[in-house]
Amino acid sequence: GENVEQHPSTLSVQEGDSAVIKCTYSDSASNYFPWYKQELGKGPQLIIDIRSNVGEKKDQRIAVTLNKTAKHFSLHITETQPEDSAVYFCAASSGTGNQFYFGTGTSLTVIP
């Protein structure tokens, strides 16, 4: 089955700096890669996703890049703010109806 690895497990950045979280996957059949943000006491919230026919996607301060050849994808957050502090999870899926395989999570702390 699919194996998703995520690094780093914890990340601290100064407010205004950028944060990068990286994930690798093992199954070449995976073609959908969402990122979720989970704040304390809440469920995961989808923040951005990318499909395998696209190399990069951006939404304001958040961007995701995908390298299918190397089987890795990354989340980039620019101009970080304290409200970006949360646990971030990457995931991989091989399509509609198929389960998501989640990374182990990255706890991001933005220091004011």
Partner 1 sequence: SAVISQKPSRDICQRGTSLTIQCQVDSQVTMMFWYRQQPGQSLTLIATANQGSEATYESGFVIDKFPISRPNLTFSTLTVSNMSPEDSSIYLCSVEASGRDETQYFGPGTRLLVL
Site residues for partner 1 per CB under 8 A: 32, 34, 36, 41-46, 49, 89, 93, 95-100, 102-105
DSSP state of 14: E
Least spacing, CB of residue 93 vs partner 1, in Å: 6
Side-chain-facing half-sphere of 61: CA atoms under 13 Å: 12
Q: Which is nearer to partner 1, 8 or 16 (CB)?
A: 8
For partner 1, give the closer residue by CB, 27 or 78. Answer: 27
Query: Following CA atoms 105, 81, 19, 58 in sequence, which dihedral angle do they give, to the nearest 10 degrees?
Result: 90
